[in-house]
Amino acid sequence: MTLKTKYRLLLFTAIVSVPIVLLGISVAMSIIYEFAFKTRNKGTPFHESFAYPTMLIVFFLSLCLLAFLFSKSINSLLTKINMLNKTIRDLASNESTPSTLEVGSEDEIGELIQSVNILIERTTYRELELKQQQELQKELLQKLRHDINTPLTAIRLQLFYLEDYYKEQPKLVESLNEQIQYIASLTNEFNLQTLDTMENSYIVTEEVQLTTLLETMIKKWSYLYRMHNIELIFHSEDAHLTWTSNELWLQRMFDNVFQNTLKHSKATKLEITIKDSKVFMIDNGTGFEQNRESGGLGLKIIDDIARILQVTYALHTNEDGTSFCFSIST
């Protein structure tokens, strides 16, 4: 029922109910006085007896009760509006993203709440994606700085020993030192997002809590999946499963599974399960030719990251869907 219909009905009910209630109270009080109190009151007419002011008091109380009942509907609307106002302000602030709201009606307010929920999910996706990209860039940049500064330090040391041979050309030594310092400064400006650096650099391992990681990723991807009418289902039979790996690159690997399902699978459901120390990601899409020569970029990235992190994965695909099974040796 729309708000317009709801409040038209409420207004009509108020207009009709007030005279009916007043007339009903008047008739009821007259009948009660006529049969119960008139003989005791020596035949005094109703409008001159104590029953008349009593009836007026009952009129007033009944009108107050009607006003309270009708105002409950208005208060319910105002409560929802205030809730939406607070949620949007929280979303616009620098604090954490608010949780999605419960949709309790099918009217315009319910549609507005659904729209705010979509905005919350999109903001959550954007913030988590940005945070992940920033962490990835930070990690790669730190590795690149380390890899560049190490040979620069060696060059400085070698230049120190060569200074005796270039005493007559101090400007040349000074120029070389300036160039080395310039190259070192440039490392602070690099913005690298490719996988190539990871191949030739070290990986910092840590204890990664898989349930927490996947819950965060599902929260991030739920917006896009909802926009494409794909259901996300998560089960965890081992809530405390941990892998000794790199959380950031595990996210990148799982991200590509989410991305492939969203873009290419034509699925209506993706089910993620943690079971027997493994992570299963299964969709009900159309599948693809696993042995084709030109595999997708997403599958190549999954394969590269899995190899570097020493994660074992099995891929099965057919016309009924695609399934990934990830595990790690302990």
pLDDT number for residue 78:
81
Beta-sheet strands, E only, within the chain: 206-209, 231-236, 242-245, 269-275, 278-283, 311-318, 321-328
How far does CA 300 lie from the centroid of its chain?
28
pLDDT tens digit string along 257-316? 998 888 888 899 999 999 999 999 999 988 876 655 444 567 888 888 888 888 999 999
Residue 326: per-residue pLDDT = 95
Distances (CA, A) of 279 to 224, 238, 260, 284: 22, 10, 17, 17
279: its two tokens:
């992570």
Cross-strand pairs, 269: 231
Question: From residue 15, how far is each of 4, 7, 12, 19, 25 by CA, in Å?
Answer: 17, 12, 5, 8, 16
- pTM for the predicted model, two decimal places: 0.54
Amino acid identity, residue 168?
A: E
Query: For helices 210-227 and 247-264, what crossing angle results, to 10°?
Result: 30
Q: Please tell me which of 72-81, 114-123, 148-157, 226-235 the model is most confident about, judged by mean pLDDT.
A: 226-235
pLDDT in tens, 214-231: 998 888 888 888 888 999
d(CA 249, CA 265): 23
